Structure 1
Amino acid sequence: MAINNTYDEQAVTKAIAEALENFYGSLIVKIDGLDIKKVMKRKNPYLYRAKAMESASEIVESVLSAFVSSSEETIFGNCFFEPIAIAASGGNKALAEGIDLMIQDNENNVIYAVAVKSGPSVFNADSKKRQEQNFTAASKLAQQAKARYEAYIGYCYGKKKESGRGKPKMYQELAGKKFWAELTGDEEFYKKIITFMGTMPEQYVASYKESYNKAANRLLREFATDFCKEDGSIDWEKLVEFNSGD
């Protein structure tokens, strides 16, 4: 039996629209705030030299591309899936620490606590232990309400192997199709998320590209000013000293 056997398609579509707006808005703010010195402080100048990069534009493109790739994954995970899970399940954003979604089924007297995660590779031993502690703390709310308590970690994409070893867990782990089906009662919901997006992403492409291109031009100018010689060649000693010197 699924946690929820029906969902409001309009509410889900609205949640997706707001999530996309937040994703692109946050990503563009990040790109607009890029500063070449702050970026190069965290980069490995020896790697660029080892790859025989002699063009400032080549380094800047590598830096910018890596930054966007890392940032977009984090931002997307933080702003996209949780509101969709809330809308799809008919539940509420949880107030308990480490729990993203609470669903109260009054008919069956059950409280569901769900930690919404992007993909199945987000935990290490310490973070998994903290998640278990958060589930334990949230279970006290169900005890006070004299309700049955069920806890889930939901991975919004990917697959998760079920482990048959070790002591029984106080929570279930569901990934991809299984997670969304549990929330909605719809075996095809994980595919429908793509359908519900429709053409919404396309409306943000122009502003994203504009921000990206401006950042590329700005960072190239800054890099040339700070780390290139008069003849235009890269001043590797200056770059390494900036990155690793006193």
Structure 2
Amino acid sequence: MIDPTNNDEIIVKAKEFFREVIGENHIKNTKKLSNINNFNVNPFLNKYLANFLTGNDSPESIAKALIYPRVLGTSITTSFGSNLQKFINTTLEGYGSTTSGIDIEFIDKIDNRKKYCQIKAGPQTINYDDVTTIENHFKKAINLGRTNGVPIANMDCVVGVFYGEQNELSQFYKTINQNYTVLIGKEFWFHLTGDEDFYNKITDAIGEIANEFDGRDLLELTTKELAKKLKEIDTLE
């Protein structure tokens, strides 16, 4: 278990997580894209998007138009979101919570109060139903504290958002922020670690992991395999 007072350990664990979980899953999910069944092929848009991207609508261009948005957008974003709990359990294990519905507990380095925190990925990653769920978790934590003689104020119930800025928060986060506390990006990591520059340090450290991954060959191979299947379909029609 990491020492929650040692910020360097958080950096090391975060790099391990991105290398071994996010990076490896990204590769695995990219390989799957050689299978045409992983796409809802839209005959109205595919050729347009291919021409927009490459200037022609060859099977290779259509394959690129299908694959690139997945690899550079939805695939890696979904992978991070779905593995967020792993990040909490590995990178932030020293802050683990035994309170139902609470991801981590920590002593706020700014006001020195204990915080009961739910972790979210980014400023647009919750929906309408999540608001009620999060607020119910906080109410239960406050009631449990009252039962056990542990005073927990609304200000001690926190949503910690890994990245982004306050002005990027969705209306759903703003609704929660009316009664509780939403800390996002640099602000969240500052309250967690006491290092005002920690957000930049951890994002820079994770950026170093990018140098270990070069997906050009994999992208080229996956594109060729998908293009081959697109040609076969075109031949059958």
Q: Same fold (TM over 0.5)?
A: yes
- Alignment of structure 1 residues 84-163 onto 2, 5 Å: 87=91, 90-92=94-96, 96-97=100-101, 99-103=102-106, 111-149=114-152, 150-161=156-167
- Tell me how far apart the structure 2 counterparts of residues 166 and 83 of structure 1 sit (CA, whole Å): 26
2:18 corresponding residue in structure 1? 20
C-alpha deviation, 1:151, in angstroms:
1.2
Contact 2:59 2:228 in 1 (8 A): no
Give RMSD over aligned pairs.
3.4
Q: Residue by residue, what CA displacement relative to the aligned partner does 1:142-171 show, whole Å, maximum 9, x if unpaired?
A: 3344223321111221112499x9898442
- Tell me how far apart the structure 2 counterparts of residues 216 and 167 of structure 1 sit (CA, whole Å): 43
Contact 2:34 2:223 in 1 (8 A): no
Aligned length: 218
Paired residue type of 1:156: F
Q: Residue by residue, what CA displacement relative to the aligned partner does 1:103-145 show, whole Å, maximum 9, x if unpaired?
A: 379xx99652212122211222222222212222333443344
Contact 1:86 1:92 in 2 (8 A): no
User: Could you state the TM-score of these two structures normalised by the residue count of structure 2?
Assistant: 0.75
Change (3 A) 1:148 1:212: farther
Which shifted more, 132-141 or 115-124? 132-141
Q: Secondary structure in 1 aligned to 2:118? A: strand
- Tell me how far apart the structure 2 counterparts of residues 168 and 57 of structure 1 sit (CA, whole Å): 48
C-alpha deviation, 1:35, in angstroms:
4.6
Change (3 A) 1:109 1:10: closer
Q: Taking every aligned residue pair, what percent have the same amino acid on both sides? A: 22
Change (3 A) 1:194 1:125: closer
Q: Secondary structure in 2 aligned to 1:139? A: helix
- Alignment of structure 1 residues 160-175 onto 2, 5 Å: 160-161=166-167, 169-175=178-184
Q: Residue by residue, what CA displacement relative to the aligned partner does 1:4-51 show, whole Å, maximum 9, x if unpaired?
A: xx73133112211221121011111111223533233x2422112445
Contact 1:113 1:151 in 2 (8 A): yes
Paired residue type of 2:115: Y
**Structure 2 alignment gaps of length 5 or more:** none
Paired residue type of 2:59: A
Paired residue type of 2:38: V
Q: Secondary structure in 1 aligned to 2:74? A: helix
2:226 corresponding residue in structure 1? 219
C-alpha deviation, 1:93, in angstroms:
5.4
Contact 1:32 1:215 in 2 (8 A): yes
**Structure 1 alignment gaps of length 5 or more:** 1-5, 230-234, 239-246
Contact 1:157 1:175 in 2 (8 A): yes
Change (3 A) 1:140 1:176: same
Higher helix share: 2
- Tell me how far apart the structure 2 counterparts of residues 223 and 210 of structure 1 sit (CA, whole Å): 20
C-alpha deviation, 1:85, in angstroms:
9.4
- Alignment of structure 1 residues 185-196 onto 2, 5 Å: 185-196=194-205
Q: Residue by residue, what CA displacement relative to the aligned partner does 1:153-211 show, whole Å, maximum 9, x if unpaired?
A: 11221112499x989844201111111111111111111113434733312x13x4443
